[in-house]
Amino acid sequence: MIPQDFHFFEKITAREAVEYYSALFHVRPKVDDLLAQVALSDKAHARFDTLSGGQKQKLGLALALVNDPRICFLDEPTTGLDPHARRAIWEVIRRLREEGRTVFLTTHYLEEAQLLADRVAIIHRGEIIAEGSPGEIIQAHGGPERLVVTGGPPVAEFFRRRAGLAPTVRDGQVEIPIQSKEEGLGYLDDLRSSGIAWTGFTVERDTLEDVFIRLVGRMDDGELKSEAAP
């Protein structure tokens, strides 16, 4: 198990820390291999107080793996890390999965959960309000796909004139819900034929973070509880 904010003896080196934990568990892991597993080989002889936040978290992961556990509990291992360090921790977690280990990951970063997890439980005020694979949760609670066109008010007005379309304009981008990418391509063909200027497009769908915000908002408004009531 690795806590959210991992601390250790300040003057101990990474190699010494692994050796110390090995003695506590009465095991003899290959120290160099373990440090390599968490991408910390180049810091084997660096003292703990000289390591960056990401390197300290990686050392915590190494110590959690000393006794070769099949189940790992990681409590917000990337909190407060810069993007580079966070992605390095992600790679370690992916390798743990590939080795067949079960990883329980607590995180407030929904992007992280969507990228790494096979199954997710969204917890709000101590209650599980959604669970399943990231795709299942998004499918069940997310909105429809959206065609997002970069353009000005004329683009929004063009889509507004089409029957049944209600575009949303946000920061110079016009969004309309679509049922399929083929439908979106049809709208783009019409827009191109109209002669109205536009500079680009994407097709987007809700992320796990979008779903979380929606679900928590409904929970706070009492909607989910009322829906669940008999």
Residue 226 is predicted with a pLDDT of 45
Residue 222 is predicted with a pLDDT of 64
Residue 43, domain CATH: 3.40.50.300
Report if residue 7 sits inside a domain. Answer: no
Report if residue 115 sits inside a domain. Answer: no
The residues, any chain, with a CB within 8 Å of residue 123's CB and separated by 6 or more, are 129
Residue 2 is predicted with a pLDDT of 64
Whether residues 27 and 104 fall in one domain: yes
Residue 4 is predicted with a pLDDT of 61
Q: Cβ(74)–Cβ(5) under 8 Å?
A: no
- State the residue range of the domain holding 176: 144-204
Report if residue 3 sits inside a domain. Answer: no
Q: What is the pTM of this model?
A: 0.74
pLDDT mean values, one per 10 residues, the chain (230 residues): 74 94 90 89 94 88 90 87 85 90 93 95 92 94 92 90 83 90 91 92 93 84 52
Report if residue 123 sits inside a domain. Answer: no
Q: Cβ(145)–Cβ(203) under 8 Å?
A: yes
- Could you identify the residue written with the tokens 């607590």? 106
Whether residues 20 and 98 fall in one domain: yes
Detail the DSSP E strand segments found in the chain. 71-75, 102-106, 120-124, 127-132, 145-150, 168-170, 173-178, 200-204
Residue 181, domain CATH: 3.30.70
